[in-house]
Amino acid sequence: MRLKSLLTMSMLVMSIHSFAQQTINLPQPNKKANSTSVIEALNTRHSTREFASTPLSQQELSNLCWAACGISRDDNHRTAPTARNKQEIRLFVFTKDGVFEYMAKENKLIKKVSGDQRDLLTSNGGNANFKQDFVLQAPVSLLMVIDFDIFGSNDTKSMQMGCVDAGIVSENINLYCQSVGLVTVPRATHDTDGIRKLLGFTSQQLPIMNNPVGKPKKH
């Protein structure tokens, strides 16, 4: 009986440890980080397809996700506006360690899938001759997903507004990266069906854009 109790407790501890590894509590975003002005970021913004292999720190990742679509002035508003404040854009973080979803209100990452899945972002899945391997250089790629279950409709107008909202999140990423010395490029190339299968999405969740992000490569 005692052995059985010890085994049960051991399994419980292992389960708790395993669950803990699935969640990354990010440090609070540094809203006073050194950065250029919005005017300067607009003037110098450019797309980059070369990245240093240097990983981003958790603080840099927290700042980046917050800039993309984090909580701003109160619990009901984001750094990126959305139609009717539906907040239907979900942000997924692809790294060599797995795929995580950014939970803005808790400022944390929840692991959805383990392992390096960035290859799903290199092509559209339907053309074997077209592949953009530069994505694999970036330590982080941010994927924007329109969730029509959250929006409440998937008609033509809803589709249009979801695309606009995803574009706003992408532009937040572009300007933030430019302002703090990171590099990125907005993209619409990815394997939509493969991502849906990987993350258990239905037709109501549409992967729409992605931004690989990293530090500039030195030549």
Residues 6+ apart with CB under 8 A from 152: 86, 158
Q: Answer for the pair 15, 22: CB distance below 8 angstroms, yes or no.
A: no
Cα gap 140→216, rounded to integer Å: 13
> Which range is least confidently modeled, 6-20, 50-64, 128-142?
6-20
Residue 163 identity (one-letter amino acid): C
Q: Answer for the pair 205, 148: CB distance below 8 angstroms, yes or no.
A: yes
User: Which domains are assigned to the chain?
Assistant: 24-214 (3.40.109.10)
DSSP reduced 3-state for 4: helix
Residue 2 pLDDT more than 70?
no
pTM: predicted TM-score of the whole model, two decimal places: 0.89
Residue 13 pLDDT more than 70?
no
Confidence (pLDDT) at 90: 98
**pLDDT band at residue 14 under the 50/70/90 scheme:** very low
Confidence (pLDDT) at 75: 81
**φ/ψ of residue 140, rounded to 5:** -140, 140
The sign of the dihedral angle between the CA atoms of 187, 193, 196, 198 is: negative
Burial (Cβ within 10 Å: 0-12, 13-18, ≥19) of residue 85 = exposed
Burial (Cβ within 10 Å: 0-12, 13-18, ≥19) of residue 52 = middle
Strand pairing partners for 144?
91, 209
